[in-house]
A = this chain, B = another copy of it.
Amino acid sequence: MAHLYRNARIHQIFGANTDVGKTIITTALVRASASKQRTVQYLKPVSTGPLSDADDIFIKRYASDLQGNVLQTCLFRFRDPVSPHLAYNLERARNGDSSAARLKDGDLINAIRSHISEIACSSDQRMDLYLETAGGVHSPALTGTSQADFYRPLRLPTVLVGDSKLGGISTTISAYESLLMRGYTIDAVVLFKDDYYSNASYLLDYFGERSIFLTSLPLPPPMHSDPDENFTITKEYFADIQDEGYPEALVDHLDRTHMRRIEELHSMAGRASNKLWWPFVQHGLVKDEKGVTIIDSAYGDFFHTYNALPSETTPTPNLMENVFDGSASWWTQTFGHSHPSLALAAARAAGRYGHVMYPQAVHAPALNLAERLLEDGPGKGWACRAFYSDNGSTAMEVAIKMALRAYCKVHGKNMSVKEKEKLGVLGLRGSYHGDTIGVMDACEKASVYTCEWHSSRGFWLDAPSVAIRSGKTMVDVPESVSACFELAEDDFVFDSPATLYDVSGRSTSRLARCYEEYIKSCLRHLENQGSPRLAALVLEPLILGAGGMKFVDPLFQRVLVDIFRSTTVASPATGRWSGLPVIFDEVFVGLYRTGWESCAPILGVTPDIAVYAKMLTGGLLPLAVTLTSQHIFDSFLSESKADALLHGHSYTAHPVGCEVANTTLSMLREQASSTEWSEMKGAWCSPKTSNPRRQDTTMWSFWDPSFVNSLSHLQSIDNVMTLGTVLAIKFKGSAEGYQSHLAQSRLSSLSNNPDDELSDFAVHYRTLGDVAYFMSSLNTPLEVLRKLESKIISTLNNM
């Protein structure tokens, strides 16, 4: 929803407090702009109090004598001279419409956005637009939301009017900090010069140190009781300060910041191509700068990106695009970008602790987070310890180290160091646990994610996957698996996804027996081959993420865990191994990404070790945790320091991350009981599976069932599948896997900015070879999801 036009400079005017002279300073700005022969638009979105006192009328009164074309607009006007949220309530009460639907933030922001677009795009003449807010930065908007939050979706460049009165140093700095914390760029601070309190002189140094432009204007004359006299002296004031050049210098500065911003954005793609080394990007294929996404800011589900070559449908095209973050920024986004609660949580911990030493120490954010995760989170009922690290990959390295030690403690008493080095893991083909080499070794080398030192240690099974194909929910059983058992269509076709995800209800099915046969035969084969011992089972529950967004039949994973735990297989080498321990990598699937806090209840088994990251911090910054059971922890206990888990990072349990995670978990808890979620669950929940006892393990999705069904019938699509926020679309006709550009090319028009910028948005999406996937945040509004669905359908229909 951001705006940036080459010929139209837009600034919003915030006040450090009410009654600091916002309107007078804005009038001075309007006059200075007008004197440069430009069109000047003054926008007061909401005005309260009698018309005669209204700010737009003031502007009209004192800026109408100039050569430039000055236009004033007020979008919402209320007669009571109180804060907009109160005035709105009074008006509603007076009109008797207090029961009618209230205006929402989005409605109002859209009205403002439309107005700005309309006037900015209507002409290629040089134009300055000043939007004046009401009261102070946190004064409530009409809806009651603080203005600093309310206006954030537009993120307009900002002029802060400082407070020149006694106490004004404090209110000015605090207002500045509240704006900064919400990601606004403050192009200038302006205030009156009061020689007695000399706030301006203090603040000039203060903001100078912070490279913020500050200018001060002479104090306006005191209000005169005679209106005519008042008009005359006020006129004179404006004329005087204009003669002295104050407002013009400010306008020149704002012009420069505007042009610099465009130049800066314009240069970024080229500079980035020259200096950055992107992950997973073949720089040899980034042929020109158009392939680089320039992210100016982000809010909610949307990136605000710079478009150097916007379609020229209007005289002055908007250089900013609104792009839906369709990969939830690599599966991290939880409540959308730039959520003020998370920003404040980060600042709070940074201000109280910074980072502090963690071994054998404790601080509240780390302790509270551990307790929540273990006692009232994904570890509830089985986990007893929390070990922190920095990301999913390191947390999985920790998990592997824990599992190997636990295994060796029981089974490795006579093993040599070299034998221990050769211990393997059991996993699924297509697994992915991160990019550090230790966890790469826990995956097949055949995978695309490899490097020179990658030397796989273990064995990987073929896993059956879940698909909705032409409206039918089914399991695709690989030949290697089905070869073990004769299956009929009834065995792998289901009446609904909910039935398929009812693992316990399927435990005695023929498919369960088939899986058992296959897994046991693989293990027998391994044993006969004399393969290295298997020390751990490592699974991504429900979905193999980076490995192709493959939805694995949960029954298969359940049977696998049961066999791994119960079977004791004789090893040809030095004895016997029993199937311990089990690691769940829930970095991607956990914390409600797939609809549940943990996938363990879906499988009906708990792990010995589980790993969380990504959404743990609400999508703000890196932090990961490895949860473990008591017996894993006990494997490291002794009287010798060398037996300790010798793994740590400098920023282990950094307070900022832990505090943000605590805030995230509170917000998750609230979201999980929201009516939006109940509605979405209801849409997926057939009467048969709506048993309230099982409600919390019933399959559901953010994506509409009829949309998913429609997709699954499309000619170009092999199958689709969804769980929670995740939607995967597999295209027909490619066997190149990760190297394939099929999905990317089929959907490419989604990433184009729609011509009608007001009603629509472009979509950023990621593909994994022939699979395209889409992901929302946990609070993406339903109307955005529905719009996104129709964009996807129409793109695929137009192919």
0 or 1 for each of A324-353: is its CB under 8 Å from B? (1 = yes): 010101111100111110111011111111
> Which residue from B170, B338, B393 sits with its C-beta under 8 Å from A137?
B170
B residues in contact with A640, CB < 8 Å: 282, 739
> Which residue from B18, B276, B358, B738 sits with its C-beta under 8 Å from A386?
B276
Of the listed stretches A401-409, A555-563, A784-792, chain B binds: A401-409
Task: Check if A620 sits within 8 Å of B295, measured CB to CB.
Answer: no
0 or 1 for each of A609-622: is its CB under 8 Å from B? (1 = yes): 00001100001111
Instruction: Tell yes or no: A30 within 8 A of B by CB.
Output: no
Instruction: Tell yes or no: A687 within 8 A of B by CB.
Output: no
Known A277-B645, A347-B181, A650-B332; judge A455-B397 contact (CB<8 A).
Answer: no
Q: CA A225 – CA B778 in complex, angstroms?
A: 60
Interchain Cβ contacts under 8 Å between A and B, 15 examples: A136-B174, A140-B169, A146-B170, A180-B347, A181-B351, A275-B386, A276-B370, A276-B386, A325-B356, A333-B354, A343-B347, A343-B354, A391-B650, A435-B648, A620-B656
Task: Check if A337 sits within 8 Å of B359, measured CB to CB.
Answer: no
Task: Check if B355 sits within 8 Å of A337, measured CB to CB.
Answer: yes
Instruction: Tell yes or no: A745 within 8 A of B by CB.
Output: no
Q: CA A648 – CA B291 in complex, angstroms?
A: 19
> Which residue from B135, B185, B363, B394 sits with its C-beta under 8 Å from A391?
B394
A572 smallest CB distance to B (angstroms): 20
Residue among A362, A400, A613 with max Cβ neighbours from chain B (10 Å): A362
Instruction: Tell yes or no: A492 within 8 A of B by CB.
Output: no
Instruction: Tell yes or no: A221 within 8 A of B by CB.
Output: no
Number of copies: 2
Given contacts A180-B351, A297-B353, 5 further A-B contacts (CB under 8 A): A138-B170, A171-B174, A277-B385, A279-B647, A295-B362
Q: CA A539 – CA B429 in complex, angstroms?
A: 37
The binding surface of chain A is classed by DSSP as mixed
Task: Check if B621 sits within 8 Å of A657, measured CB to CB.
Answer: yes
Instruction: Tell yes or no: A316 within 8 A of B by CB.
Output: no
Known A332-B355, A649-B435, A651-B621; judge A180-B348 contact (CB<8 A).
Answer: yes
A766 smallest CB distance to B (angstroms): 8
Instruction: Tell yes or no: A755 within 8 A of B by CB.
Output: no
Q: CA A278 – CA B291 in complex, angstroms?
A: 44
> Which residue from B202, B276, B282, B423 sits with its C-beta under 8 Å from A453?
B423
Instruction: Tell yes or no: A382 within 8 A of B by CB.
Output: no
Q: CA A424 – CA B349 in complex, angstroms?
A: 42
Of the listed stretches A36-44, A212-220, A264-272, A721-729, chain B binds: A264-272
Name the interface residues of A151-184: CB closer than 8 Å to any CB of B: 155, 166-167, 169-175, 177-178, 180-184
Q: CA A406 – CA B11 in complex, angstroms?
A: 50
A113 smallest CB distance to B (angstroms): 19
Instruction: Tell yes or no: A527 within 8 A of B by CB.
Output: no
B residues in contact with A638, CB < 8 Å: 282, 284
Q: CA A646 – CA B331 in complex, angstroms?
A: 17
Task: Check if B362 sits within 8 Å of A293, measured CB to CB.
Answer: yes
B residues in contact with A605, CB < 8 Å: none
Instruction: Tell yes or no: A731 within 8 A of B by CB.
Output: no
Task: Check if B387 sits within 8 Å of A390, measured CB to CB.
Answer: no
Instruction: Tell yes or no: A643 within 8 A of B by CB.
Output: yes
> Which residue from B183, B362, B455 sits with its C-beta under 8 Å from A352?
B183
B residues in contact with A657, CB < 8 Å: 621-622
Task: Check if B338 sits within 8 Å of A351, measured CB to CB.
Answer: yes
Task: Check if A357 sits within 8 Å of B338, measured CB to CB.
Answer: no
0 or 1 for each of A633-658: is its CB under 8 Å from B? (1 = yes): 10011111111111111111110110
Task: Check if B279 sits within 8 Å of A86, measured CB to CB.
Answer: no
B residues in contact with A344, CB < 8 Å: 177, 180-181, 347
> Which residue from B276, B329, B393, B644 sits with its C-beta under 8 Å from A355?
B329
Task: Check if A453 sits within 8 Å of B435, measured CB to CB.
Answer: no
A193 smallest CB distance to B (angstroms): 15
Instruction: Tell yes or no: A628 within 8 A of B by CB.
Output: yes
B residues in contact with A364, CB < 8 Å: 264, 268
